[in-house]
Amino acid sequence: MAHNQLAHTESMRCKAKRGNPRSLSNGAAPPAAQAPCKRRKLCSLGSGEFVHVMALEAKKGKVEEFESRVQDMARCLYSLTSGVSDVRVCHPCCGRVLYVITFLDRCDME
């Protein structure tokens, strides 16, 4: 089953559990039509990690120096072995960069 179809099916299942008369297959309401949906929201996973997003842009005429420095910074971030669980770098064009750094806890972030 495709991911989008699976997500749609899961969404319909939750609506059906909340009392929506639409069903997944034959039009009959499921037996547990009055049961609340038990799905958790992404924000309630409680991993305790902190995500820091940092966007940088080069000053006019300083793109070459900027590019060199952001590459050095990316290498340093990728080499961290404690306190960081993930580092992502988005480099949409020369002169702009976005770092997304996931820290294990607030102390590591500070």
Structural domain harbouring 24: 3-39
- Identify the residue with better confidence: 7 or 68: 68
User: pLDDT tens for residues 20-29?
Assistant: 444 444 555 5
97 and 50 share one domain? yes
Q: Is the pTM of this model over 0.85?
A: no
Provide DSSP, 7-42.
HHHHHHHHHHHTT-S--SSSSPPPTTTTSPP-PPPG
> Please, what is the Cα angle at 52 between 107 and 75, to 5 degrees?
95
64 and 98 belong to one structural domain: yes
Could you read off the pLDDT of 29-45 as tens digits, one per residue?
A: 555 555 566 665 555 55
Average pLDDT, the chain: 73
The answer on 78 and 29 residing in a single domain is: no
Is the same domain home to 59 and 89?
yes
Q: What confidence score (pLDDT) does residue 81 get?
A: 81
Which CATH number does the domain housing residue 59 bear? Answer: 3.30.70
DSSP, collapsed to helix, strand or coil, labels residue 2 as coil
- Rounded CA-CA distance 68/75 in Å is 11
Furthest CA-CA distance within the chain: 67
Number of domains in the chain: 2
